[in-house]
Structure 1
Amino acid sequence: MKNIHVSTTVNGDELEFVCAPGETLLDSLRDRLGLKGAKEGCGTGDCGACTVEMNGEIVCSCLVLGAEAEGADLRTVEGMATGDKLHALQRIFIDEAALQCGICTPGILVAAQTLLERNPDPSESEIRYWLAGNLCRCTGYDKIVRAVQSAAAEMRGA
């Protein structure tokens, strides 16, 4: 089969890559573009470790074909920090020990950032709902939820 040329925007940068027709977006991000933040946990869309934002919606990049990124606007965990400065979510996850092994963390951060952009003052139940597609085997979810709440408050200036 013929490879596919893809033009897309990733973290604000216009990029191009070539992928095989059956290649996942996750593999394209990691292998073609060198963006290693999204991880493959399950390969079936159940764990959320590969969560990225595509055209404003969170998606499991293991379930999206690389070719589907044609003309899309993608955001990965690598796009959160600005220069040397971590995004508030990233910094607070570290400060509040809301992560351990790091496999699930990039997907959780992307999902949380998308939530906070839509709702800067989410309830605990809204946070848990938005993060329900992201499974973590190392931490309890309480520290993660509290970190998202703290980041939301800081981002609102509260």
Structure 2
Amino acid sequence: MKPAGSLALLALLLAGCSAGSGLTTGALLGDDKPAAPVNDAPARAFQVGTASARAVKCGFNFDPAKLKTNYLAYEKQQPSGQDTAKIERIYDVSFNGVAKAVAGEGEYCSETKTKTIKADLGRHLAGDYTPRVVPKEQEEGLFSGMGSGGSAPEYKAKHPMDNSD
């Protein structure tokens, strides 16, 4: 599959994962409380897949295949009745998409990123597959490093495929 095709598939899968728009009155009125991440099977699959790909990139010593197997076994035990094949596809697309996206980044594994990756990987290896809550001060957008000193530095949006911390 071509990289553009896999990214389009990932976007399509993620668009179908959300039951709501994510827009709340708190977001409109400037509520400073971070929204709790969605903790459903597609969100967990995406989180575990991306964390595993990031850990592989940074050279963490773990078995990615075993993590995937343990995660999928966890999802099979959940009462939600999610389609296991769909969850596995989301996992694979997120893992492969992130792995390809960060493959060429030579200085990807900064100290801040490795701390975050280590925390996520540790939780997942211990059987906690819930998505990570991103503190408000760590949220950065896809283009957050561009145009520093601009007229609106307080606006930062977190893009789902942004792996920077």
Asked whether the two chains share a fold, i.e. TM above 0.5, the reply is no
Larger strand proportion of the pair: 1
Larger helix proportion of the pair: 2
Bigger radius of gyration:
2
Normalising by structure 1, report the TM-score.
0.29
